[in-house]
Structure 1
Amino acid sequence: MRKVDIAVIGAGSAGLTAYRTARRHNQSVLLIDPGPLGTTCARVGCMPSKLLIAAADAAWHIQHADTFGVSASGIQIDGEKVMQRVRGMRDRFVGKVLKGMESISEEDILQQPVRFKTDHLLETPDGELIEAGRIVIATGSRPAIPGFLNAAGKRLLVNDDLFELDTLPESVVVFGPGVIGLELGQALHRLGVRVRMFGVGGAIGPIGDDDIRQAAQNCFGSEFPLDPDSQVIDVKETSSGVLVSFEGESGQTLTEEFEYLLAATGRRPNVDQLGLEHTSLELDARGVPVFDPDTLQCSAEHLFIAGDANNYLPLLHEASDEGAIAGRNAALWPDVAAGDRTVPLAVVFSDPQIATVGMRPDQIEQAFANAFAVASFDFADQARAKVMGRDLGLMKIWAEKGSGQLLGAEILGPEAEHLAHLLAWAMQQKLGVDELLAMPYYHPVLEEGVRSLLRALKGRI
């Protein structure tokens, strides 16, 4: 039997950070992961998707250069070269992650799956036992696929599979207009792939505000068929693709054939194969350990859960932060402390981009009742956005009445990633409306839209 003070299950963004943080306090740390190593972000997530989006943006800007009086003819998209670059650059990013792991001693890594036998005891498939004083669960997540989509058979793809295609497909039906679906679906469309997108319940990305959600539906729906609250009747694999029958706008049944079906229907935590039933852990309805979001401590006090495995804030920067919190608390247990959490920030790299900062609209309404103000800004009224030919989108900011403290923001617009960072930094520093209005604003820049919003908020708080 192998005995260690701390075991970290999972070598993704959260697990690697947890391991390194724990090692600063304790030398007896074992990192467990069956592989493939290299993190979800680098292998199948944020990096390969951004490579595909970069290719799509290049094609789109050339195709629409006539907006500025610039003509471009003979545009060709080489699907094989696009996918070769995606995989080649992706492999470089994965290589950098693996290079960073070379500093970890071979004795500290176990490339095997494990299951719990008891609260402190883990077992590998070949019967090796590992007894750990404290354990961090950082096993990540995987695509969640609704059962009816399995009827697509061999034509069913998840984002992991998409990047392994040798060339761009002719057509793809996308289920799920969330972050992954929007990014990949729009990128494929802009690279010449025929795309149709279905959703359930009307949600689009992480948007919580009704007005911005409607603006997003108008923007994306004008570019490719998007029904965020669809009625899909049937999915069937054929010899050449997949047939999807669905209810049209006037209630008639329509059937369309696609080469592939891309399931972008969310992700599920990788905790169901860990043998958690053999522990004393309290589990929620999804089978995920109940935990304290500030300390990441579970009901069994020597166990911690971080990153996508807890499905709390499944984003890379949040996973790294949580890894640091869990690693520190596992190493210094029972001296468990709340970790420093940054202002919530999420970005969808669609065009226009989507970004959310701080509290969600429903959280603000619940926590502040009538003690908040909100202002909105349409990018159609923004000078720099018009100059760029990218004047689609809507932005809102919420602030507390009286104090002027910023509470949250939602953005659908050009370069939202940068505007969202500015607002997140401002919220992190607890800057209010007056302090932000005192900042410099150059002309003409997109940030002037933020100033317009802040001026409107000042008159309402």
Structure 2
Amino acid sequence: MTHPAPTASTDVAIIGAGSAGMAAYRAALRHTERVVLIESHVYGTTCARVGCMPSKLLIAAAEAAHSARQAHRFGVNVPPIDIDGRAVMARVRSERDRFVGFVVDTVEQWPVADRWLGHARFVDTHTLVVDGLAGPRRLQAERIVIATGSRPAVPPAWRAALGERLIVNDDVFDWTDLPGSVAVVGTGVVGLELAQALHRLGVRVRLFGRGSRIGPLTHPALQALAREVFAAELPLTLNVRDLKPRREGDAVVLRTELADGTVQEERFDFLLAATGRRPNVDRLGLEHTALPLDPQGVPVFDRRTGQVGDSAVFMAGDAADDRALLHEAADEGRIAGDNAGRWPAVRLRPRRAPLAVVFSEPQMALVGATHAELVASGTAFETGEVSFADQGRSRVMARNHGALQVYAQRGSGRLLGAEMLGPAAEHLGHLLAWSVQRGDTVQQMLDSPFYHPVVEEGLRTALRDAQRALQLPAPAPEHCLECNA
């Protein structure tokens, strides 16, 4: 005889305790004390455990090794570099665990009754069954926030063929030592960052891509420059038409057929699949609800409110398959949690200017509207550009690679967006994002102070180029002839 699952009730149920779920919990509590936060695995966000923080720890080690190797360019000679893989990974894991600990400590300070551990699935639009260690429990919730995050998307055939020799980025940060060789498949942000970092740490790496793109830049000229810059350092195989991995003992043999028909084979210790991520919505039982779904099975929602259709269900974070970035997930969590708490009095919330950064070297940044988005929308705009090849401060640091493009609206001169490959993109990206969000014009930006000598003077050069394209009156010249700033 089976017994029905015990039933509880709450005003707001939040599925997922990552960055979005935690933000949603705090926001919902401002309106009601009856909030339940459900987590199916362990506390600690994707960012802290397997994303932003451990990847930057690995990149920091790689940058230290690269800087030492390049010191001779400044007349500084150092002994041959000796990379202790165990020490590298020990620091990555130790600092990673520290960041995760902060998150776990925060969640565990919240009331025990508010925290449910187990996998949640919908029975209907207002009822969840949560399968925990003590068995299933039913939860009746007036409003629900889906913040279940995402996971790496890996071809099942690869897993079957390679077993533990197939890894994803999550696995890298549990290594106790660096491997001898890794094939990285996928030239997006994750693949590029990890491939370059491992390469600089002495691992034999090759980065494979099905197309010719490197990273998220959308302007063809910037993409071509990215291919040139990264190919000069990192072994690349692009335009792969067919890719077939197989296992031979403890090795992965990767057979690739290129667009021109060339066939290549190479052996590696591991294959790192950086082939994208998929939202964790496929095991939620959404078929038992009346929620509108897109062709991929993700609930259709309004990103200004988080609301799915006209229901009392809201979306936030990577599960929403929108902008998979921590600050966006936190914003979406606040919006969804606030509106779930105050439902049915749902409010529209303005979103911040888009900002994305790639921590490769050189770095990349995309701000506001991209070139591809502006072209697709038919927006009338002009482009201003600067190359960092001869930019003063960039040459001083021997980091003079890349270019910056700024996009300004015709007529108003307002900055619409920018794309960058170059030094200090993580910092310039913030300045540009603030200007986009404020609605600054090119002239207003040029009227702002620029110190000398700094990389930001390159931004000024790009803005002046945009000013000429917009046919705006030029200000009095402020030019350093000695350093091309």
Query: In structure 2, the residue corresponding to 1:136 is in which secondary structure?
Result: strand
Correspondence 1:112 to 2:118: yes
Q: Post-superposition shift, 1:240?
A: 2.1
Q: Distance in 2 between matches of 1:84 and 1:128?
A: 40
Aligned counterpart, 1:297: 307
- Residue in structure 1 matching 2:72, options 66, 77, 100: 66
Q: Distance in 2 between matches of 1:213 and 1:146?
A: 27
Task: Report the TM-score when normalising by structure 1.
Answer: 0.98
> Residues 242 and 258 of structure 2 are in contact (CA less than 8 Å); yes or no, is this contact kept in structure 1?
no
- Residue in structure 2 matching 1:46, options 35, 47, 52: 52
Query: In structure 2, the residue corresponding to 1:343 is in which secondary structure?
Result: coil
Correspondence 1:158 to 2:168: yes
CA distances 1:215-241 after superposition (whole Å, capped 9, x unpaired) = 111111111222332233421011121
> Residues 149 and 263 of structure 1 are in contact (CA less than 8 Å); yes or no, is this contact kept in structure 2?
no
> Residues 140 and 307 of structure 1 are in contact (CA less than 8 Å); yes or no, is this contact kept in structure 2?
yes
Correspondence 1:413 to 2:419: no
Query: In structure 1, the residue corresponding to 2:389 is in which secondary structure?
Result: helix
Following superposition of structure 1 onto structure 2, how do residues 77-96 of structure 1 map, counting pairs within 5 Å?
Answer: 77-96=83-102
Q: Counterpart of 1:32 in structure 2: which amino acid?
A: I
Structure 2 unmatched runs, 5+: 1-6, 471-485
User: Relative to 1, partners in 2 of residues 1:300 and 1:280: Cα closer, same or farther, differing over 3 Å?
Assistant: farther
Aligned counterpart, 2:210: 200
Query: In structure 2, the residue corresponding to 1:127 is in which secondary structure?
Result: strand
Q: Post-superposition shift, 1:423?
A: 0.3
Matched positions, count:
460
CA distances 1:413-455 after superposition (whole Å, capped 9, x unpaired) = 0110001000001111111101110111111100001100111
- Residue in structure 2 matching 1:374, options 356, 379, 383: 383
> Residues 303 and 332 of structure 2 are in contact (CA less than 8 Å); yes or no, is this contact kept in structure 1?
no
Correspondence 1:186 to 2:196: yes
Aligned counterpart, 1:336: 346
Aligned counterpart, 2:12: 6
Percent identity between the two aligned chains: 51
Q: Distance in 2 between matches of 1:269 and 1:405?
A: 35
Aligned counterpart, 2:449: 440
Q: Distance in 1 between matches of 2:258 and 2:274?
A: 21
Query: In structure 2, the residue corresponding to 1:124 is in which secondary structure?
Result: strand
Correspondence 1:149 to 2:155: no
CA distances 1:33-57 after superposition (whole Å, capped 9, x unpaired) = 0221100000000000000000000
Correspondence 1:253 to 2:224: no
Aligned counterpart, 2:4: none
Q: Post-superposition shift, 1:205?
A: 1.6
Give the CA RMSD over aligned residues: 1.2
Following superposition of structure 1 onto structure 2, how do residues 257-406 of structure 1 map, counting pairs within 5 Å?
Answer: 257-299=267-309, 301-369=311-379, 371-406=380-415
Correspondence 1:32 to 2:41: no
Q: Post-superposition shift, 1:171?
A: 0.4
CA distances 1:275-333 after superposition (whole Å, capped 9, x unpaired) = 00110111111110011111111025100000000110110000000000001110111
Aligned counterpart, 1:460: 469
Q: Distance in 2 between matches of 1:377 and 1:362?
A: 19
Task: Report the TM-score when normalising by structure 2.
Answer: 0.93
Query: In structure 2, the residue corresponding to 1:381 is in which secondary structure?
Result: coil
Q: Distance in 2 between matches of 1:383 and 1:148?
A: 51
> Residues 241 and 259 of structure 2 are in contact (CA less than 8 Å); yes or no, is this contact kept in structure 1?
no
CA distances 1:336-378 after superposition (whole Å, capped 9, x unpaired) = 1111210000000000001100012122123344x21012211
Q: Distance in 2 between matches of 1:192 and 1:179?
A: 20
Q: Distance in 1 between matches of 2:394 and 2:69?
A: 19
Q: Distance in 1 between matches of 2:261 and 2:145?
A: 51
Q: Distance in 2 between matches of 1:410 and 1:203?
A: 15
> Residues 239 and 258 of structure 2 are in contact (CA less than 8 Å); yes or no, is this contact kept in structure 1?
no
